[in-house]
Structure 1
Amino acid sequence: MEEESMEEEGGGGGCEAMMDDQNHNNWGAYGRHLLGPATAAPLGDRLLRGPAGPPAGPLLSAEPEANGVLRGCDPASAAGKGGPGAIAAAININASTSKFLMNVITIEDYKSTYWPKLDSAIDQLLTQSPGDYIPISYEQIYSCVYKCVCQQHSEQMYSDLIKKITNHLERVSKELQASPPDLYIERFNVALGQYMGALQSIVPLFIYMNKFYIETKLNRDLKDDLIKLFTEHVAEKHIYNLMPLLLEAQSTPFQITPSTMANIVKGLYTLRPEWVQMAPALFSKFIPNILPPAVESELQEYAAQDQKLQRELMQNGFTRGDQSRKRAGEELSYNGSSACASSRGYR
């Protein structure tokens, strides 16, 4: 019932109307805006005390504006100028404002109602496999984040999100440590792809927190923060075990699939570009402009490398196609050198 009540009252502009330059949520200013600039007493005091006697100063009138909206909310003034209809309208405005302000999300509400929903959704997103159907309401999760940001729980929510994902990544790291060498590369590839895929859903769900807290107060970006978590808690701990296995797989064609090798190498480069220095030749096969341009004096060396690769491919069952119109060795000596020179940027 509480959630339904919040849904009914949370309008599309409610959050933005309450956000000031500091914390985006100045309740007093919002209440005074509803009652008009001439109201001196705080809104909460007037709602609790009610009219205690003749007003000390002039009351706001209940005259309608051109668009039909009442100027003021005082029932006594409305009785003198607008009649019973104006009184009813003024009472409705006061009641609506009071109900709005009393429906505050406390820290207890956040911990018991709102964060558990976010926690469950994040769990599912972090552990889903590609193509899985996730039975969660993205609209409901987005709404939870929106309301919590509007009611000043951004800092707590950001802290909970970071802690949640950190704990998940630490478990992933321990599982990788227990993997045998022949499965290590594949499992790292799965962990990397699964996490990057989850970020594609998690980051948009927390877009309001990112905009009104992380970017504004921390001068950072949520996606960058979450990628950094994977770098620190997984990639950094495994890079020195992973790289020798990748180099060994590179020396044995198709020990792992080309797509797996490409995903890992590109992923490592995204996480930390300076890791290129650990294996420039490996990264250059998947990342352009890693190695310096080719020079003419090294063309024979490049051609020899291409010939070796072609021989290894044929030994593993890959044919060269129809060679009836070529002389023996022509493709190895000519096409090999030209293809290699082109790939190295030779002009």
Structure 2
Amino acid sequence: MEEESMEEEGGGGGEPMMDDQNHNNWGAGGYGRHLLGPAAAAPLGDRFLREAAAGTPAGTELSEANGVLQGCEPGGAAGKGGAGAIAAAININASTSKFLMNVITIEDYKSTYWPKLDSAIDQLLTQSPGDYIPISYEQIYSCVYKCVCQQHSEQMYSDLIKKITNHLERVSKELQASPPDLYIERFNVALGQYMGALQSIVPLFIYMNKFYIETKLNRDLKDDLIKLFTEHVAEKHIYNLMPLLLEAQSTPFQITPSTMANIVKGLYTLRPEWVQMAPALFSKFIPNILPPAVESELQEYAAQDQKLQRELMQNGFTRGDQSRKRAGEELTYNGSSTCASSRGYR
């Protein structure tokens, strides 16, 4: 696995990396930074014992600085050659022991750290709007931070993608089983629930995003997770969903305006080129979809506005207090101006 560089941004002497109370006092001298160099590749005791068995080159000895054993110039008390290396490895002091105790092996990650993340992601993906989620965001954030420092980012990213992909495949199957009269509403719920979950999931994995996804993969976590929904849900349902949306558009109040707006805006976010499937529908919720209005079509726009107002009145909506307006004024004047402005007429 590639080592992950988490160097401070800016010049030397920048602020230390953020920490919190759940990091268990990771040791003096900046534990996270020590793990990021080659010294973090294997437990120090084992490494030095292997070097001792192979014979340490003459003129080298082992010393300790800030709790990490490292090479230095001759003249110390640790001795030279293989014997000195063995002595240094055996006589690890208390601070180095504490360093070794904080090493997270891949087994630790799989048995302790990822299960905590897995459970939290489950709750976030399945919560309903306004639900209280009984998880410690600080603990999960700290868990991600430690795993990144210990070079488990690649495994954690792979586990996260697999976890969310499995969830979305289940969502897609549930939508496929939905009857037509519930299809639009259920798609809206699935889309809103997932986008809401991303607002929590992406910040929790901010360290993995910054020091692995952006640095090593040249991508962004939020973009990757939105792409997952596009591939595993939206693409599989767009050709069933769009005819239902067009039918609902032609029948006022078949679905609520807010539901229609949420879905259309969501589809545009997922894949803007889907506008070409129904430009008139998308233009009602996304600005500048259609070309600018022209003066010769103003009468047609006014007629469309009048038709919409009649349909609103037939469904119980009133035009308010008309006592101060001349008859037909709203239908002719406001109707044409509203339509023209909605199409970008100047």
What's the TM-score bracket when you normalise by the shorter of the two chains? 0.7 to 0.9
**1:92 and 1:144, CA in 2 relative to 1: closer, same or farther beyond 3 A?**
farther
Is residue 78–residue 86 contact of structure 1 (8 Å, CA) maintained in 2?
Answer: no
Q: Distance in 1 between matches of 2:260 and 2:17?
A: 50
TM-score, with structure 2 as normaliser: 0.77
Q: Map Cα deviations across residues 14-56 of structure 1 (whole Å, 9 max, x no partner).
A: 9x99999999999999999899999999963796599999996
**Match of 1:6?**
6
**1:11 and 1:106, CA in 2 relative to 1: closer, same or farther beyond 3 A?**
farther
- Alpha-carbon deviation of 1:5? 24
Is residue 169–residue 232 contact of structure 2 (8 Å, CA) maintained in 1?
Answer: yes
Say what the alpha-carbon RMSD is for the aligned residues: 7.8
Q: Distance in 2 between matches of 1:105 and 1:155?
A: 14
Q: Distance in 2 between matches of 1:21 and 1:140?
A: 9
Is residue 32–residue 42 contact of structure 1 (8 Å, CA) maintained in 2?
Answer: no
**1:81 and 1:274, CA in 2 relative to 1: closer, same or farther beyond 3 A?**
closer
Q: Matched residue of 1:175: which SS?
A: helix
- Choose 167-176 or 135-144, whichever is displaced more: 135-144
Q: How many residues align?
A: 343
Is residue 60–residue 72 contact of structure 2 (8 Å, CA) maintained in 1?
Answer: no
- Alpha-carbon deviation of 1:74? 12
Is residue 62–residue 88 contact of structure 2 (8 Å, CA) maintained in 1?
Answer: no
**1:332 and 1:27, CA in 2 relative to 1: closer, same or farther beyond 3 A?**
closer
- Choose 73-82 or 211-220, whichever is displaced more: 73-82
Q: Map Cα deviations across residues 193-248 of structure 1 (whole Å, 9 max, x no partner).
A: 00000001101111111111111111100000000000000000111111111111
- Alpha-carbon deviation of 1:91? 11
Is residue 249–residue 281 contact of structure 2 (8 Å, CA) maintained in 1?
Answer: yes
Is residue 74–residue 90 contact of structure 1 (8 Å, CA) maintained in 2?
Answer: no
Q: Map Cα deviations across residues 164-221 of structure 1 (whole Å, 9 max, x no partner).
A: 0000000000111111111111111110000000001101111111111111111100
Q: Matched residue of 2:249: which SS?
A: helix
- Choose 133-142 or 324-333, whichever is displaced more: 324-333
Is residue 67–residue 95 contact of structure 2 (8 Å, CA) maintained in 1?
Answer: no
Q: Distance in 1 between matches of 2:35 and 2:107?
A: 28
**Structure 2, unpaired ranges of 5+:** none
Q: Distance in 2 between matches of 1:42 and 1:125?
A: 35
**1:10 and 1:115, CA in 2 relative to 1: closer, same or farther beyond 3 A?**
farther
Q: Distance in 1 between matches of 2:134 and 2:25?
A: 36
Q: Distance in 1 between matches of 2:303 and 2:147?
A: 63
Is residue 9–residue 100 contact of structure 1 (8 Å, CA) maintained in 2?
Answer: no
Q: Which runs of 4+ in 1 moved over 6 A?
A: 1-14, 16-42, 49-56, 58-61, 65-76, 78-93
**1:229 and 1:73, CA in 2 relative to 1: closer, same or farther beyond 3 A?**
same
Is residue 115–residue 157 contact of structure 1 (8 Å, CA) maintained in 2?
Answer: yes
Q: Distance in 1 between matches of 2:40 and 2:160?
A: 41
**Structure 1, unpaired ranges of 5+:** none
TM-score, with structure 1 as normaliser: 0.77
Q: Distance in 2 between matches of 1:38 and 1:244?
A: 60
**Structure with bigger RCO (C-alpha 8 Å, 6+ apart):** 2
**1:3 and 1:116, CA in 2 relative to 1: closer, same or farther beyond 3 A?**
farther
Q: Matched residue of 1:321: which SS?
A: coil
Q: Distance in 2 between matches of 1:239 and 1:283?
A: 14
Q: Map Cα deviations across residues 253-280 of structure 1 (whole Å, 9 max, x no partner).
A: 1111111111111100000000001111
**Match of 1:76?**
75
Q: Distance in 2 between matches of 1:56 and 1:46?
A: 18
Is residue 138–residue 205 contact of structure 1 (8 Å, CA) maintained in 2?
Answer: yes
The structure with the largest alpha-carbon Rg is 1
- Alpha-carbon deviation of 1:316? 0.7
- Alpha-carbon deviation of 1:110? 1.1
> Percent identity between the aligned chains?
96
Q: Distance in 2 between matches of 1:189 and 1:94?
A: 60
- Alpha-carbon deviation of 1:328? 2.6
- Alpha-carbon deviation of 1:321? 1.7
**1:72 and 1:54, CA in 2 relative to 1: closer, same or farther beyond 3 A?**
closer
Is residue 47–residue 98 contact of structure 1 (8 Å, CA) maintained in 2?
Answer: no
**1:17 and 1:306, CA in 2 relative to 1: closer, same or farther beyond 3 A?**
closer
